[in-house]
Chains A and B, each alone.
Chain A
Amino acid sequence: MSGDVTASAAATGDRAAAGGDGAPADADSTPADLDAVIHAPKRLYILATLSPVAEAEFLFLQERLQLSASDLSKQMTTLREAGLVQMRKTGAGRGGKTWFALTDEGHTAFNDYRKRLRTLLD
């Protein structure tokens, strides 16, 4: 085990400063290169869940993550503002659904984050 990772940009929420600009992982990766937005476990789990699927519905994510609606909504807002996730609504009223999907940038950032983690472990 190589010890804990510290995302230095976590406090500022600055994705670019954290290396979340889609730049490829390399052998010189340092803990500070990790994307601070993705680094949080809840958001990481959301991205990993969305990664293999076309889109997932809000209640499905809530059930999977065992989060309150407000907490999940807050996490999704953060991911959307970072440009990693996109949202669409279908239906209306009680039958309405909110679907989330990774954006191209989200896929790139998630894959890059995972590469950087592996680089750190190697």
Chain B
Amino acid sequence: METNGGPDLDTNAADGAHDPQAQLDLIDEAEAHYYDFTLRNWKVMVGLDGPWTLGRLLALWGLVLVMLGCGVYSVWRQTSVTGEGSDWPSLLVLPVLFAAAIGVDRLRGRVIGVRPHAFPPAGARVPMLKAMIPVMLGVVIIVPLMLAAADAGNLPLALAISFGGGVVTIGLTAWWARRFGPGARRR
């Protein structure tokens, strides 16, 4: 179906005659491109694809800095304030939520700082609700793990989960979209 980088759409429809299997293949090919949106968004997010711009640098490294800042602040708060039942672990939730917001934005195809039409994600957006499902799933899994590690006094583990939580969330989002997303093969 693919010719010169584009689909073969030259068949004259006026006679109305088409192979139903070919028609279904055409649909699959169009929907399969949804994978490319998601995968490329993910690659752009982690810096593996797309042009580098100030917006992207801020999006990527701003996320890292916020996570690191929250982690450092949490450690400082625990060691300097100490206190039974302190609520410092809740601070670790912030970077994960921040990452979740970024993940949603990535899936919706709004790549920060990338010129429109530079590549497909800038030209198509995925419905917000569908994009949020896997992200929220990631948050539900990661946050309890993080809080459990913090409550157990395992700071390195809590920080590692906090720091890696955003990456895991976005990775889970990309995997979900590929496996269960609206473009998944249904046959």
Contacts and interface: CB of A to CB of B under 8 A. Distances in A.
A27 interface: no
Contacts of B125: 53-56
B16 A52 contact: no
A5 B19 contact: yes
A2 B20 contact: yes
A121 B23 CA distance: 11
A49 B33 contact: yes
Contacts of B9: 41-42, 45, 65-67
B78 to A, nearest CB: 43
B4 interface: yes
B23 A40 contact: no
B8 to A, nearest CB: 8
A83 to B, nearest CB: 19
Nearest to B128: A54
Interface in B41-64: none
Given A52-B182, A56-B123, A57-B116, A44 B27 contact: yes
Contacts of A117: 20, 23-24
A49 B30 contact: yes
Given A42-B9, A48-B26, A59 B117 contact: yes
A74 interface: no
A10 B12 CA distance: 11
A8 B15 CA distance: 9
A45 B15 CA distance: 18
Contacts of A45: 7, 9, 26-27, 29-30
Interface of B: 4-11, 13-21, 23-24, 26-27, 29-31, 33-34, 37, 108-109, 116-117, 120, 122-128, 181-183, 187
14 contacts: A5-B17, A5-B18, A41-B10, A41-B11, A56-B124, A57-B122, A60-B120, A64-B7, A64-B33, A64-B120, A65-B6, A66-B7, A118-B24, A120-B20
